[in-house]
Amino acid sequence: MAPTRSTTQQTPFQILGVTACDDHATIRAAWKRLVKLCHPDRCPADAARLNRKLAELNAAYDKLKNHVPVRARPRAADFAAEQAAEQAAIRAKSAQDARASARAVAAQRAKAEVRAKADAQARAEALARAEAARRAKASTTARAKPLSASETATLHTATRAFADARTAFDGPRPAAVIRAA
C-alpha cells in the first residue's frame, strides 16, 4: 500500500515555518530560503513533486505578503522580569531623589551654619566695639579735670537764669498774644 498524505491542511505560517508575530522581512527570508531548497531546477528527477511544493510555498507567501504582525503576548516570565526591572528603576530613582534631597538639606544646613557663625562674629565684634567705646568714654570722663569753685558757681548761676527764663516763657500770656495765636 502506498503511503497516504496527511489530510490535515497546514496554515501559510506552518508552510513557511514562521509565526504570526514575525514581520514581513522574516516571512520573505523564510520564503526565499525554502524556494531555493525546493526549486525544481535543483533536482530535475523529482520536478513534479518540487513544482507542487513550490506552488504551495508561493501560495502561502502570497497570502502572507500583506500580513501585519500580531503583537506577541508577553509571557508571564517576561512580564515578571519587566515588572521587576520597572520596580528596580523606580527604587533607583527614589534613592537618587533621596540622595539629592539629602545633599540639598546638607547644603542648606551648611549655609545656615555659616550665616550663624557670621552673625555670631558680627555680634561679638559689635559688643567689642561697644565695650571699647564705653571704655574710651570712661577714660575720657576719668581724665576730665574737676571744675573749680568759680566755674561751679558760674554754672549754677547760668542754670538758674535759664530756669527763670523758661518759667517766664511758659508762664501766663497777655490776652492780646492769646487772641493772635
What is the pLDDT, as a whole number, of residue 121?
94
DSSP the chain: -PPPPP-PPPPHHHHHT--TT--HHHHHHHHHHHHHHT-GGG-GGGHHHHHHHHHHHHHHHHHHTTPPPPPPPPPHHHHHHHHHHHHHHHHHHHHHHHHHHHHHHHHHHHHHHHHHHHHHHHHHHHHHHHHHHHHHHHHHHHHSPPPPHHHHHHHHHHHHHHHHHHHHHHSPPPHHHHHH-
What is the pLDDT, as a whole number, of residue 2?
46
Question: 64 or 181: whose pLDDT is higher?
Answer: 64
Residue with the three cell numbers 490776652: 175
Which pTM value belongs to this model? Answer: 0.38
How many other C-beta atoms lie within 10 A of the C-beta of residue 39?
A: 15
What is the pLDDT, as a whole number, of residue 174?
62
Question: 65 or 93: whose pLDDT is higher?
Answer: 93
Cell triple for 149: 569753685
Give the residue-averaged pLDDT of 19-36: 90
Q: What is the CATH number of domain 12-64?
A: 1.10.287.110
- pLDDT tens for 96-140 read 999 999 999 999 999 999 999 999 999 999 999 999 988 888 777
Residue 159 has pLDDT above 50, yes or no: yes
Residue with the three cell numbers 498774644: 177
What is the pLDDT, as a whole number, of residue 4?
46
Give the residue-averaged pLDDT of 148-170: 89
Residue with the three cell numbers 497516504: 4
- pLDDT tens for 1-25 read 444 455 568 899 999 999 888 888 9
What is the pLDDT, as a whole number, of residue 3?
46
- pLDDT tens for 52-77 read 999 999 999 999 888 887 776 666 66
What is the pLDDT, as a whole number, of residue 175?
62
How many other C-beta atoms lie within 10 A of the C-beta of residue 30?
A: 20
What is the pLDDT, as a whole number, of residue 124?
93
